[in-house]
Amino acid sequence: MSLLSVLTLLAVAGGPVSDPALTGTGWTLRTLVPDGVTRLDLAPDGPSAPTLRVAPGGQVSGHTGCNLLSGTATLEGSRVQLGRLGVTRRACPGVAGTVETAYLRVLSQVVRYRVQGQTLTLYARGAQRLVFQANGAAPLPPAVQPPAAPSTALRPAQLAGEWQVQAVTLGTQTSRVPGEAALTLTPDGTTTGLRLSGRAGGCNAMNGQAELRGDVLHFSGVATTRMLCPDMAAENALYRLLGTPLRAEVQAGPGGDTLVWTGSLGRVTLKRR
């Protein structure tokens, strides 16, 4: 298993952390959303439940579920940055290692926090988040747990067809999409599988496979031809997005169906031809 043994970030200048709602207690991770789509709920007393504590002076300590954690925190309003994060080097097999790796990755990207009663939520880029419960607090009722993203059981046949690529957004950057950009989804005969083909940016041909799990597409084996094109921004962005889980939503309209794929890195908008 690959272990993130030491993670170092640039130190952030700033004053001490002074929010007593944040620093007045220790926190145990209850929910981990590592990619903006997948949600992992952890038992508060389970062996793989990470913890976090922020001291008034800005020192960060805790546990990853396997290794000890330390670092620094700087606050400005509701914004927070964590720096100088490091962990001990104990090997963490199985679930503990998977949780540790995801926890550290999201923790290193945290940009904002909110304390609401006995719940601390750390928000990171791309809809990633960490939801903690105050140590010693009674279990939270379902009504105050962060809701799971709604899931619609789509079928491959609903996504089948030829789709014009209208917009590709990676992060905050939306690329210009040539008019020839179109993708075709074809059911592969299984209950969840689709074949992908077409031209992502109107230049290079693309093909691959997709598996539909509920309303989330998981692409695999995606490959493209290698022509050098004048403007490859859209197809390069789409290729990156297809490497992440993408939630699919079909929106019916007077001008035909629109298909929207949304993931942790951005979104793709397609129009049925």
pTM for the whole structure: 0.48
Q: pLDDT tens digits for the chain (273 residues)?
A: 333 333 333 233 344 556 888 987 899 999 988 877 778 887 655 556 899 999 988 899 999 988 999 999 998 888 998 988 899 988 887 777 888 888 999 999 999 999 998 999 999 987 889 999 998 765 544 434 444 444 446 788 889 999 999 988 888 888 888 888 899 999 998 888 999 998 877 678 889 999 998 888 998 888 888 787 777 888 888 888 888 888 898 887 777 789 999 988 888 999 998
Q: Which pLDDT score is estimated for 234?
A: 82
Q: Which pLDDT score is estimated for 112?
A: 92
Inter-residue contact 32 to 99 (CB < 8 Å): yes
